[in-house]
Amino acid sequence: MDGDFPNEDMFPAEEPGPPRPKFEPRFRTLRPREMSVNGAEGDVKPRKVSGIRTVLSYTGIPPSWLDKRPKLPSRNWLIFLSTVSTVAGFYIYDRQQCKKIKREYIERVKHLAEEPLGTLERPRKVTVYGAKWPGDEDYDQSLKYFRKYVKPVLVAAAVDYEMINGKRHGELARRTADEIKSRRRLAAGIDSPSPYTEALPTRLPPDEEYKQELAGGIVIVGRPAFKEFMAGLQKGWSEGLEKVDAEEDLAQELSMDGRFDEPEVPEEGIAVEATAFTPSPIVFSPLQHLNQPKPAKRSGENISSSLNTPPSTIPLLPPLLLVPFIDYIGFTQVPLMLWDFFNQRHKVRAGARAAYSLIIGETRPFDSPSAETRLFTDITTPDNEAPSSDIDFDRSAEAYYKRSTSALAGEIEKARTKFYEALPAKLATARALARGEREYTKEENERPPPSEMELRAERLKKELRWRRDLEGWEIVKPATKVAWDDRFKDILRLFVDPPSETEPTLSNDS
């Protein structure tokens, strides 16, 4: 047995050398048991667990979530949270103030809606005028402003309203002028009222209708609507009473310019002398139709000169409520849009205050400079130094028009030139196809070209729109002054802010 195991002599003893370095761990290992203070090994004392933590531990929540301690977020999270909370705070505060202002004004006037009204009686009614803002394709912006900020207080006071909007420049002025002429024709006995409206049980006599209209009012939103309303007012009380069909007159005028005349074809066998022909440049101008012969007047009506002459005095108009309005459009006005988004309370206050002044009914005469003052000012004083009056209502809003609106006349002239350059080729194609001189091509079968009648109708439609747009822009552009007639001085009145003692007490926050 001893031979099976190696002898100690077989393994020589190791030679003594330098001592090996003792290995020390870099990190202290955590042990389940630690030495107590007196050196004896003892158990770790368990940490006390609250009752809430004990209950939550049985709900399936991971224990690591329960052991987490709150700590400050990182720098990026602090920036994000502070930015979001600031923006949300501005928005929430502004909307709360909007509700507060609207509620206080509604509480002030809602008792008027509780007053009894007869079965056939009508509530107080106002007419609201809005116009297209220059450069904005959405023509309804001014009336949107009315519906959002002015209408709630009027509805709370049971005030009825009718909205009239101009979709293109000049449309509101034409509508106002036509309405005034219709009333003048009724008053002169040229036209008779409709038998259907006369048969209505709610129909009032003309004098009662006029009194109720004066008890209402006229709301004009924005500078463009004010200019068009005054231009239509002047035109309606200055022109004759003949009914004029603008489309028919324009069609007669266009038929005499030779655009659709047939080209002269020389007969066979007759030599035609070749002459040098230099086409004269065609210059299109919005005033070129003034030099052309005017069509003869239609003799369907015989109106005496005494009735056709503009009256020297004008009946009273309902009081005017002028509501300032600015439509921010364009890239350069983005900062103003952002400021306006977080300050809606100013619009709510202005709209509610305007509606409240209309409901209270305090008015004053329209302030306008005399004819001598206007003539002297136009000659010697710049526009920015002219004395202010009610004619200058919301004049500062014209500074917010887009710059591209000043090129509207040039754009219309370019469109007109392009149309007339392409017209001869389209007309030749239409006539060749109509006479059977050639067959339809594959493209023409899929999309038939317009006929001569369609080209005439298209030209009439485009010319009517171009001329009306130019006429409307001449009314609303900043360089044009508000139309004024000295006869308006005694018939126009304005709603004013109510006295301070009857006004709701509101916080004047910025």
Do 430 and 388 lie in a common domain?
A: no
Do 336 and 375 lie in a common domain?
A: yes
Instruction: Quick: pLDDT tens for 193-213.
Output: 888 887 887 788 888 889 999
Give the C-alpha distances (Å, rounded to integers) separating 52 from 49, 62, 207: 8, 14, 82
Residue 294 belongs to a domain: no
Residue 26 belongs to a domain: no
Do 209 and 240 lie in a common domain?
A: yes
Of these ranges, 277-286, 296-305, 353-362, the one predicted with the greatest mean pLDDT is: 353-362
Are the C-beta atoms of residues 170 and 136 closer than 8 Å to each other? no
Identity of residue 407: A
Residues ≥6 apart with Cβ < 8 Å to 185: 191, 241
Torsion sign, CA atoms 470, 475, 481, 486: positive
Torsion sign, CA atoms 215, 365, 132, 456: positive
pLDDT interval class at 320 (50, 70, 90): very high
Do 396 and 430 lie in a common domain?
A: no
Average pLDDT over residues 13-22: 59
Strands (E), 81-124: none
Is pLDDT above 60 for 49?
A: yes
For residue 228, which of 168, 151, 144, 149 has the smallest C-alpha distance? 168
pLDDT interval class at 335 (50, 70, 90): very high
Q: Is 117 exposed, middle or buried (0-12, 13-18, 19+ CB in 10 A)?
A: exposed
Do 424 and 392 lie in a common domain?
A: no
Instruction: Quick: pLDDT tens for 221-231.
Output: 999 999 999 99
54-58, 134-138, 181-185, 475-479: range with lowest mean pLDDT: 54-58
The pLDDT score that the predictor gives to residue 503 is 54
Euclidean distance between CA atoms 149 and 351, whole angstroms = 5
Euclidean distance between CA atoms 159 and 153, whole angstroms = 9
In the chain, how many H helices and how many E strands? Answer: 17, 8
For residue 134, which of 286, 322, 328 has the smallest C-alpha distance? 328
Average pLDDT over residues 369-378: 56
Do 95 and 168 lie in a common domain?
A: yes
Are the C-beta atoms of residues 165 and 139 closer than 8 Å to each other? yes
Strand partners, 495: 363
Euclidean distance between CA atoms 87 and 42, whole angstroms = 58
Q: Which residue has the higher pLDDT, 126 or 39?
A: 126
For residue 339, which of 145, 510, 111, 128 has the smallest C-alpha distance? 510
Query: Is the pTM above the cut of 0.85?
Result: no
Give the C-alpha distances (Å, rounded to integers) separating 167 from 136, 146, 232, 250: 11, 16, 15, 21
**128 CB neighbour count, 10 Å cutoff:** 24
Q: Per residue, what are the HEC states of 171-229?
A: HHHHHHHHHHHHHHHHHHCCCCCCHHHHCCCCCCCHHHHHHHHHHCEEEEECHHHHHHH
Do 244 and 378 lie in a common domain?
A: yes
DSSP assignment string, 318-366: PPEEEE------SGGGHHHHHHHHT-HHHHHHHHHHHHHHHHHT-EEEP
Residues ≥6 apart with Cβ < 8 Å to 373: 387
Are the C-beta atoms of residues 141 and 93 closer than 8 Å to each other? no
Are the C-beta atoms of residues 495 and 363 closer than 8 Å to each other? yes
Residue 415 belongs to a domain: yes
Do 207 and 326 lie in a common domain?
A: yes
Look up the domain containing 149 and give its range.
89-115+125-257+314-401+485-502
Euclidean distance between CA atoms 201 and 180, whole angstroms = 25
Residue 35 belongs to a domain: no
Dig out the tokens for 402 from the structure: 């887009």
Three-state SS at 164: strand
| Ramachandran region, residue 261 (left: φ > 0; alpha: ψ -120 to 50; beta: rest) | beta
Average pLDDT over residues 367-373: 67
Give the C-alpha distances (Å, rounded to integers) separating 474 from 132, 259, 471, 482: 14, 27, 5, 11
The pLDDT score that the predictor gives to residue 13 is 55
Residue 277 belongs to a domain: no
Residue 422 belongs to a domain: yes
Residues ≥6 apart with Cβ < 8 Å to 75: none
Q: Is 304 exposed, middle or buried (0-12, 13-18, 19+ CB in 10 A)?
A: exposed
Instruction: Quick: pLDDT tens for 86-113.
Output: 999 999 999 999 999 999 999 999 999 9
**208 CB neighbour count, 10 Å cutoff:** 10
Is pLDDT above 70 for 77?
A: yes
Report the domain count for the chain.
2
Do 466 and 320 lie in a common domain?
A: no
Do 97 and 235 lie in a common domain?
A: yes
The percent of residues in the chain predicted with pLDDT above 70, rounded, is: 77
Residue 106 belongs to a domain: yes
**239 CB neighbour count, 10 Å cutoff:** 15
For residue 228, which of 286, 179, 161, 187 has the smallest C-alpha distance? 179
Residue 3 belongs to a domain: no
Are the C-beta atoms of residues 232 and 333 closer than 8 Å to each other? no
Do 218 and 146 lie in a common domain?
A: yes
Average pLDDT over residues 49-53: 74
Do 146 and 189 lie in a common domain?
A: yes
* Mean pLDDT score of the chain: 82
